[in-house]
Structure 1
């Protein structure tokens, strides 16, 4: 069976990638080993940048309707929470939504757009050729078969078969911390946003649909390289009582689990016709609820580039920029996770004092709160431009710019299969540049951000990042600069 792309793994990352590829006109098969979506949700949080990603494709409304907005987030279980209300986004909050429901919504979208889903099937390996990949799959009945595709993308988790078969190194550090969690009923639940931390450990309680809570934490006895075995209900109760002095009426566990802080990072996100995204590319301690979000953002960066390469409109080297842009983001994720792990295991007097110091800075230093919030939510992600004299906006995430006389902002105008050229001149100087894979949006900015002062045109990539910004005051010079920018970024 011929497919342009085979995606191994049908979690949130693979599903968003499948939808993006379909919007770009690419045929895609998602091969997922699970027969059905796992109801035990690892992730519970959708971050502001991920909501922006969804909004840029008109896919956010269902998430907003079902998720619970929380105007902040925790960093390493510090007492003072980050305040997201100061962020420059239409969505200055996280959404509390179980991963199982996120997967359902994303699968519905991918299937509606024409992606093929092979549930109960498993990628067992592949052979790469000069112009294609032959993917070996074990079917639901155990009978092997093959799929032929132009590319294979591994979205198949930290034990990725795709990464292993490709021979891509996954270096890092082993687990030295073991955390724990339980999805339980609490007859006497704590207040929303509850967390507690002290010499006996740290605990958070997060409400779940159906009247349950997720109780999650770390303890001094978890500072070990030995796996303690399965978590039992009475052990969970004892750990919570040791920190908080009570068990909140804990009963009826639905899921008890442990997790470690093994941290590994793929050396390459692309090798030939093989690409990696999400947990297949980066494994880390689940601090701050960022893992799924970074994976979806990987897929958002990759989707349009892969579609452009297959559609023949990619500029030279575009697909290679997936690694050069997202690999540093993965490295920053590793740094953040390790830093939070150190703080979340700071049970000594020195560790407790460090936590108190940083928590106080979040509460009293607005610039620190904002900088940390922008990094945690990925709103600060910017891709360094190849041209050292490019406008400072180049590579940054474009905000949801609003336009005079229009109810729709920039996110609603973005397209997955082409660029948007903002013509901010009063006399429509760039209107004649519109064409295949390029929409020219002539408009005036309503209350433009300070960093956009003097910008008369900007080229916005399908993933919402600025590809070029022009400040030439002469219309002819501006149009010439726009043509040069287009010529180096996409084929007509």
Structure 2
């Protein structure tokens, strides 16, 4: 019997498996596909943007350099038309760009320079390859060609049926995508809004590649994005009628492209094609008994803005250490419940962000009028900064019941005077009590949790006015002490996340 079975060997399942193994938990990953490779995971359609919290998570686990190494992604055909612009785009909202030179990073008081940065483009297949290699190096067992077919729960575990076999585990986590078998078999409620459009991502050859203007364009019937010679994304507001209902043919792609663009293009070859919609649904609970959900199994939305991958990896980072502590008997009461408490609101916010973009894309006079207003706002310094905070994930903060503005946010990458960075100190998946003030050492607080909480004393080059910081294993600040640290509040914070051990 394994401690945890994870359904799905995508980035979310693999990253969660790494987090669990880092804590010494036994993990089996079951994946339906026999071959992890797919053209849709490679350029141009496999390009994904990683946000600040995701980059910080990879950095904290020593994976950032390997994930971000191939820089050719930013030179792919899907990004080619951005290079023609005189200003550096920083992201977009429903196709409305904001630019780096408009963003006021001085407003982000608690961000320090870090190797993690705020955004990086990666290829999905490369990301999965890196995570699979790390998982296997940590001792995760990955079984491919075994999709989950059903499950049975008991008080002490779960039996998972896959490929005619039965697998037993203490816990099951569904990371098996938007059509999750685990979610359906366990009876989770999935609530949300139905699609308004069918989206297409296609690679084609055309008789005249110059017939379409490069870039993103709103039209009376939808929207399309074109990068020469033949990478096209387009949206037709048909209520999602064509998504996964029949094969995507050259004639169909040509007909939709003509309707959406208003140009009588001639498509001579169809190399790749896939569809998607703006369907936005979320599980009303992330746990039922010993079954949990993460990633697209817990929430689905349109790929607009590219936040789905980041949302799922954030689920994995949040859940991993909490589930491991629960399995090992180290978790304080209610720790696992905080997974839903913290991540469900984040998912709901991303779904609404997606819906808001759809509202701007509708082919109607009111949407075009609203688009003009948003363009004016996003072109201001405050507007660009706000959209950057949301798109890059800089504004992410969990409500941990503490008024300090740093608590609930990702820990700044403090650099100690000896050159050590906070990011280096989280590699082993333990919590961290960082004490800048040698006059009032906090080591006795950490000593009782030495196997789960590291204590490091030393001044920082920029301590941001703090004397001490307590970071959870996921890099989230659980407590921050000012110039005269309140030892009682620090003890309460440690106990909340690591439980009581011995006398207070």
State how 1:365-384 maps to structure 2 within 5 Å. 365-384=380-399
* Alpha carbons of structure 1 residues 192 and 325: separation in structure 2 relative to 1, 3 Å: farther
1:335-390 CA-partner distances (Å, limit 9, x unpaired): 01111111122x22332222122122212x2222122222222221111114xx54
The match for 2:95 is 77
Contact 1:457/1:471 (8 A) holds in 2:
yes
The match for 2:426 is 414
1:62-115 CA-partner distances (Å, limit 9, x unpaired): 222114458622211125567796554644553332322221221111111111
The match for 1:45 is 48
* Alpha carbons of structure 1 residues 205 and 404: separation in structure 2 relative to 1, 3 Å: farther
Give the aligned length.
469
1:164-190 CA-partner distances (Å, limit 9, x unpaired): 121110112222211111034689689
* Alpha carbons of structure 1 residues 279 and 136: separation in structure 2 relative to 1, 3 Å: same
Contact 1:423/1:443 (8 A) holds in 2:
yes
Paired with 1:8 and 1:331, the residues of 2 have a C-alpha distance of: 23
TM-score normalised to structure 1 length: 0.86
Picking from 159, 162, 168, the partner of 2:179 is: 159
Q: Does 1:137 align with 2:157?
A: no
Paired with 2:56 and 2:266, the residues of 1 have a C-alpha distance of: 38
Picking from 412, 420, 424, the partner of 1:399 is: 412
Where structure 1 has 5 or more consecutive residues not aligned to the other structure, the ranges are: 139-143
* Alpha carbons of structure 1 residues 80 and 467: separation in structure 2 relative to 1, 3 Å: closer
* Alpha carbons of structure 1 residues 289 and 251: separation in structure 2 relative to 1, 3 Å: farther
Contact 2:148/2:181 (8 A) holds in 1:
yes
Q: Does 1:487 align with 2:491?
A: no
Paired with 2:482 and 2:213, the residues of 1 have a C-alpha distance of: 48
Q: SS where residue 343 of structure 2 aligns?
A: helix
Picking from 64, 68, 77, the partner of 1:64 is: 68
* Alpha carbons of structure 1 residues 356 and 131: separation in structure 2 relative to 1, 3 Å: same
Paired with 1:197 and 1:79, the residues of 2 have a C-alpha distance of: 14
Shift of 1:409: 2.5
Which 10-residue stretch deviates more, 56-65 or 96-105? Answer: 96-105
1:131-167 CA-partner distances (Å, limit 9, x unpaired): 21122221xxxxx221111100000112211111211
1:381-419 CA-partner distances (Å, limit 9, x unpaired): 111114xx542322122232333341x422222145321
* Alpha carbons of structure 1 residues 185 and 377: separation in structure 2 relative to 1, 3 Å: farther
* Alpha carbons of structure 1 residues 131 and 234: separation in structure 2 relative to 1, 3 Å: same
* Alpha carbons of structure 1 residues 84 and 279: separation in structure 2 relative to 1, 3 Å: farther
Where structure 2 has 5 or more consecutive residues not aligned to the other structure, the ranges are: 75-87, 106-110
Paired with 2:9 and 2:216, the residues of 1 have a C-alpha distance of: 33
Contact 1:414/1:462 (8 A) holds in 2:
yes
State how 1:27-46 maps to structure 2 within 5 Å. 27-37=26-36, 38-41=38-41, 43-46=46-49
* Alpha carbons of structure 1 residues 235 and 77: separation in structure 2 relative to 1, 3 Å: farther
* Alpha carbons of structure 1 residues 27 and 314: separation in structure 2 relative to 1, 3 Å: same
Paired with 1:206 and 1:10, the residues of 2 have a C-alpha distance of: 31
Paired with 1:244 and 1:311, the residues of 2 have a C-alpha distance of: 57
* Alpha carbons of structure 1 residues 289 and 8: separation in structure 2 relative to 1, 3 Å: same
* Alpha carbons of structure 1 residues 358 and 85: separation in structure 2 relative to 1, 3 Å: closer
Q: SS where residue 40 of structure 2 aligns?
A: coil
State how 1:425-436 maps to structure 2 within 5 Å. 425-427=437-439, 429-432=441-444, 433-434=446-447, 435-436=450-451
1:277-335 CA-partner distances (Å, limit 9, x unpaired): 01110011111111111101111100111111112222111111101100101110110
Shift of 1:204: 2.2
Contact 1:7/1:30 (8 A) holds in 2:
yes
Q: SS where residue 489 of structure 1 aligns?
A: helix
Paired with 1:402 and 1:194, the residues of 2 have a C-alpha distance of: 41
Contact 2:23/2:429 (8 A) holds in 1:
yes
The match for 2:217 is 196
CA RMSD for the aligned pairs?
3.0
The match for 2:8 is 9
* Alpha carbons of structure 1 residues 189 and 75: separation in structure 2 relative to 1, 3 Å: farther
The match for 1:141 is none
Contact 2:62/2:427 (8 A) holds in 1:
no
Shift of 1:233: 3.1
Which 10-residue stretch deviates more, 183-192 or 299-308? Answer: 183-192
* Alpha carbons of structure 1 residues 219 and 161: separation in structure 2 relative to 1, 3 Å: closer
Paired with 2:411 and 2:214, the residues of 1 have a C-alpha distance of: 31
Shift of 1:442: 1.8
Contact 1:171/1:267 (8 A) holds in 2:
yes
Contact 2:305/2:391 (8 A) holds in 1:
yes
Which 10-residue stretch deviates more, 455-464 or 429-438? Answer: 429-438
1:413-464 CA-partner distances (Å, limit 9, x unpaired): 214532100102143612343422111122323334xxx43x2111101111
Shift of 1:252: 4.8
Paired with 1:283 and 1:261, the residues of 2 have a C-alpha distance of: 9
Picking from 467, 472, 490, the partner of 2:478 is: 467
Paired with 2:483 and 2:462, the residues of 1 have a C-alpha distance of: 21
